[in-house]
A and B are shown apart, each in its own frame.
Chain A
């Protein structure tokens, strides 16, 4: 507004409507708006836009659905070797270093899955060796009635991660040609070990289908497998 009779500039209209105009300019602009219907109408339209935006409903989503994946990714980062922080940006760095981190994570995950599996299955193996006489306490097996909501939820979770792992395996198969041969061999070997741990758990679940702890461990194993495959796919 270089002259009292001139219209307000775009900056003045926008800043005034957005309540961003410097305090010492507000009075001049208000005086002009009182005398200029064109500028007043334009500023009123800008203010109506601000009101519409303010009153617009906030976008929403079923956020409970997002947490399990976040939790799985957090769990996966906890598997990272000492000194290797598998940050978001690390997975986006190109090249060999990223693949090395992936391989390290796979190996650490294998150790985790197989160790936990053995810890859980060990008492059951002892029982078999003793002709069914249990050594482990009942508390360790954490039985749950079949068909309980908790068991059903775990079984659903297990199925979801199983399906996701299969999809990711299919994708990995498609991208295999992009992996270095030694990396592909290492991934195959590591996945075999994870699958073996999963097979042991499935066998244990078949023998004791009401054991909620075994179901949870199996679902967790699938989740870890899916998560690692996802990371490998994203690294590609």
Chain B
């Protein structure tokens, strides 16, 4: 169910890598790194925006992600696509951020159950919402799993590894998130 990048994005990513900018950036060429940023920033921002549901945080985390990418670029060996590697770095940056700000209920299953049962939803939602607004209504843990699996295309095992949840817990969070979204979106 992962979203597919727009053609322009794919083309610019391909250009950036085929031109050898990765190697130049690894050698400290900031202009080359800027072209990598321009090729991948939209996807990273979209990830950050969906995982946090907050534009300001998403911008900051996009910046943090690319600073992290710069710092670790020499570790990129080309064993995966650069887009995949950058994406994984960004996911880790966002997850660290979410862990640092998580509230007591942020990752709990109980919160997700509340949404799934509609006890909060009825009070919050009076009309159809767009997808992003609905995703923003999810508790952080359910939102994280939903975005990583249904939008970004990670497997349950990968999500479990990244978040530290048991795979079964991650899957249960996803089911609850989908049920809550169906209610929020009036499907």
Residues in A neighbouring B33, C-beta threshold 8 A: 74
Separation of A88 and B94 alpha carbons in the complex (Å) = 13
Are B132 and A66 within 8 A (Cβ)?
no
Please name all residues of chain A whose beta carbon is closer than 8 Å to the beta carbon of B171 when the two chains form the complex: 11
Contact A63 B41 (CB under 8 A): yes
**Taking the complex as formed, is A138 at the interface, i.e. its CB lies under 8 A from any CB of chain B?**
no
A-B contact pairs, 19 of them (CB 8 A): A14-B175, A18-B149, A19-B1, A45-B182, A52-B131, A53-B131, A53-B181, A58-B46, A59-B46, A59-B50, A60-B46, A61-B55, A61-B62, A63-B41, A65-B59, A70-B37, A74-B33, A88-B64, A88-B93
Chain A 63-107 near chain B by CB (<8 Å), digits 1 or 0:
101110111011101100000010110000000000000000000
Q: From A17, which residue of chain B is reached at the shortest CB distance?
A: B178
**Residues 113-149 of chain B: 1 if any A CB is under 8 Å from the residue's CB, otherwise 0?**
0000000000000000011100000000000000001
Contact code string A19-45 (vs B, CB < 8 Å = 1, else 0): 100000000000000000000000001
A64 → chain B, closest Cβ, in Å? 9
Instruction: Let me know if A199 is at the binding interface, CB within 8 A.
Output: no
Query: A137-153 vs B: 1/0 string, CB under 8 Å?
Result: 00000000000000000
Query: Are the C-beta atoms of B174 and A14 separated by less than 8 Å?
Result: yes
Query: Which residue of A46, A54, A63 contacts B42 across the interface (Cβ within 8 Å)?
Result: A63
Report if A186 contacts B (CB, 8 A): no
Interface residues of B in 17-49 (CB under 8 A from A): 28, 30, 33-34, 37-38, 41-42, 45-46, 49
- Point out the residue from B6, B67, B71, B175 that lies within 8 Å of A85, measured CB to CB: B71
Q: Is A50 an interface residue (CB 8 A)?
A: yes
* Complex contact A56–B71 (CB within 8 A): no
A52 to B182, CA, bound (A): 10
A-B pairs, 8 with minimum CB distance: A56-B131, A59-B49, A63-B41, A58-B46, A73-B67, A59-B46, A50-B1, A70-B66
Q: Taking A14-B178, A60-B46, A61-B58 as given, write out 16 further A-B residue pairs in contact, using a Cβ cutoff of 8 Å, ordered by the A residue number.
A: A10-B175, A11-B175, A18-B149, A45-B187, A49-B185, A50-B1, A53-B151, A58-B6, A59-B45, A59-B58, A59-B132, A66-B63, A70-B37, A70-B70, A71-B30, A88-B64
**A66 to nearest B CB, angstroms?**
5
Whether B42 pairs with A58 at a CB distance below 8 angstroms is yes
Range of interface residues on B (Cβ < 8 Å): 35 or more
A69: B residues at CB distance < 8 A: 63
Q: Interface SS of chain B: helix, strand, loop or mixed?
A: helix
Chain A residues with CB below 8 A from B71, complex form: 77, 85, 87-88
- Cα A58 to Cα B3 in complex, Å, equals 9
B150 within 8 Å of A (CB atoms): yes
Q: Judge if A176 is at the interface, Cβ distance under 8 Å.
A: no
Chain A residues with CB under 8 Å of B41's CB are 63, 66-67
Query: Shortest beta-carbon distance, A72 to chain B, in Å?
Result: 10
Residues in chain A near residue B150, CB distance under 8 A:
18, 50, 53
The reply on B88 being an interface residue by CB < 8 A is no
Quick one: closest B residue to A46, CB to CB?
A: B178
Name B56-103 residues within 8 Å CB distance of A.
58-59, 62-64, 66-68, 70-71, 93
Q: How far is the CB of A194 from chain B (nearest CB, A)?
A: 22
